[in-house]
Amino acid sequence: MDYDSYTLLELKTMCKDRGLRVSGKKAEVVIRLMENDEQNSPTPQPQSVTIQTQSQQPVTHIYVQNSTDTGVIVTGVFIVLYGLFRIFVGGIFSSFGEAPVQSFIAMTIGLAYIAGGVITIQGYKQGLQLTLGVLVVSGILSIIYHDEWSPLSMGMEGIWPIEFSLICSGFCMLVVAAPLIAGMGSDGRFKQGSPKYLEAAARFATGVAYNNVITYDDMRPTKEAKIVIKCVHCDSKLKVPVGYQGNVKCPSCGDKFEVS
């Protein structure tokens, strides 16, 4: 029963009807009624209650679920395995001395897949987001090198049609994006925040970028050094740049004189 919606007088009337003590403030009366409900209930059920304290601050019991969804873990495992496969293919091409640059790129993409898969297995959505980005880059390279014998494309000199590459890339993106779409309305599907090492890397990169940025203060010219001279007409003091020669106007008397 939601006792907070009742007035203090109504709550005390309930206590009187149940033979309970009626004195006390509203929070005390609510607790007394709830304890009586638990005593009279044959199977008490745990519940989250909000009690209005004297400082008018609600006290709420919050239950947090921090477990990773099984589907997310399975997806992460498949991403890691696919990354190992891409490294294996790149290694084979490299061992035969074919397309060394493309083989290096293929193995780098494989490492990126493994990184995304590991972060996904840990329960963070950033892993799936990283994998989606790598899939986009990999799909573009697959189209570019479709007509070549390359570890970056499934075309293999046009043996497979380009539509096959597009379908495979689209299917992989759909599989990776499925947990993200399914978890949009569920806070318990992914862990909150980011892995500590990603946060540390982001802080390091931000610090390096900040230290290498030229600020507006750095671009402003330094203040020009000045010396103090006296007006030849009224002996008032005024400042002129060091090494200045020419006529100046005294701000006090308004007369001009020459500085040499």
pTM: 0.50
Residue 134 belongs to a domain:
yes
User: Is position 161 within any domain?
Assistant: yes
Is residue 158, in this structure, part of any structural domain at all? yes
Question: Are 93 and 47 members of one domain?
Answer: no
Q: Is 163 exposed, middle or buried (0-12, 13-18, 19+ CB in 10 A)?
A: exposed
One domain, residues 140 and 179: yes
Domain end point (choices 183, 206, 239): 183
Token pair belonging to 62: 């919050």
Q: What CA–CA distances, in Å, run from 214 to 197, 202, 210, 224, 243? A: 28, 20, 9, 21, 31
pLDDT digit string, tens, across residues 26-57: 888 888 888 888 887 765 455 555 555 554 45
Residues 40 and 76 in one domain: no
Q: H or E stretch including 3?
A: none
**Residue 205 in domain:** no
Does position 175 have pLDDT exceeding 90, yes or no? no
Residue 195 lies in a domain: no
Does any domain span residue 31? yes
Rounded percentage of the chain residues whose pLDDT exceeds 70: 78
Tell me, yes or no, whether 52 and 92 share the same domain.
Answer: no
C-alpha angle 196-197-201 in degrees, rounded to nearest 5: 120
Residue 210 lies in a domain: no
Same domain, 131 and 156: yes
107 and 138, same domain (yes or no):
yes
Of 60, 79, 100, the one marking the end of a domain is 60
The confidence score (pLDDT) of residue 112 equals 93
Q: What is the pLDDT of residue 24?
A: 82
Q: Among candidates 183, 86, 163, 187, which has minimal Cα distance to 131?
A: 86
Write the pLDDT tens digit of every residue in 60-102: 444 444 455 787 888 889 999 999 999 998 898 888 887 788 8
Tell me which range, 19-28, 101-110, 214-223, is most confidently predicted by mean pLDDT. 101-110
174/154 same-domain check: yes
Q: Are residues 74 and 11 in the same domain?
A: no
Q: Which of 183, 216, 235 is the last residue in one of the domains?
A: 183
- Which amino acid appears at position 30 of this protein? V
In which band, very low, low, confident or very high, does the pLDDT at 126 lie, cut at 50, 70 and 90? Answer: confident
Claim to verify: residue 78 and residue 177 sit in the same structural domain: yes
Q: Please compute Rg for the chain using Cα positions.
A: 37
Q: Is residue 196 part of a domain?
A: no
95 and 171 share one domain: yes
At 155, list the tokens. Answer: 């075309």
Task: Taking residues 162-180, report their average pLDDT.
Answer: 84
Q: What per-residue confidence (pLDDT) applies to 209?
A: 58
- If asked whether residues 178 and 75 sit together in one domain, one would say yes
Domain count, the chain: 3
Residues 37 and 74 in one domain: no
**Structural domain harbouring 241:** 226-259
The pLDDT mean for the chain works out to 78
User: What's the whole-number mean pLDDT along residues 101-117?
Assistant: 92
**Exposure class string for 177-209: b at 16+ Cβ within 10 A, else e:** eebbeebeeeeebbbeebbeebeeeeeeeeeee
